Amino acid sequence: MKYTIDDCTIIEIPKNHSDRGSLSVVESNNSIPFEIKRVYFTYDIPSGAERGGHAHKNLFQLIVAASGSFNVLVDDGVNSKELFLNNPSKGLIVTPGIWREINNFSAGGIVLVMASELYDDGDYYRNYSEFKGLK
């Protein structure tokens, strides 16, 4: 299946709030449309830095601003859009075949990612020109 940027959507992550704080839960194949096989997060990101800059052949991701804020550019080789993430009870689903760049980090920004696959270097498109050529 060929995905487009329209398949990259912001979802509400269920939030339980009490006077002791908030708790959000993400469950494989329930609140997101894939099984979580890997979780990672980036932090201490210097001002002006960019993350991402690649696409995946088969991997789905849920990207969450666990703290702070940042922009995510998604690009399907034809169209692109930029989304702003700043709320840990919202997450961006990124489908396979979508180029993503993450930038404009606030101080203390933490990017939390839940991925459908274990790390596989062969699943990456790391060169944008090559990625565009395949589309």
CA of residue 35 relative to chain centroid, distance: 15
CA distance 80 to 120: 25
* 17 counts as catalytic: no
CA distance 135 to 130: 9
CA-closest candidate to residue 126, choices 70, 52, 45: 52
Q: How is residue 49 written in tokens? A: 């830095």
**Residue pLDDT, tens place only, 58-117:** 999 999 999 999 999 999 999 999 999 999 999 999 999 999 999 999 999 999 999 999
Q: Domain of 110?
A: 5-134
Give me the catalytic one of 13, 51, 53, 54. 54
The pLDDT assigned to 133 comes to 87
Cβ 72 vs Cβ 133: under 8 Å:
no
pLDDT of residue 135 exceeding 80: no
Residue 16 sits in a domain of what CATH number?
Answer: 2.60.120.10
- Cα angle vertex 33, ends 74, 27, to 5°? 115
Number of domains present in the structure of the chain:
1
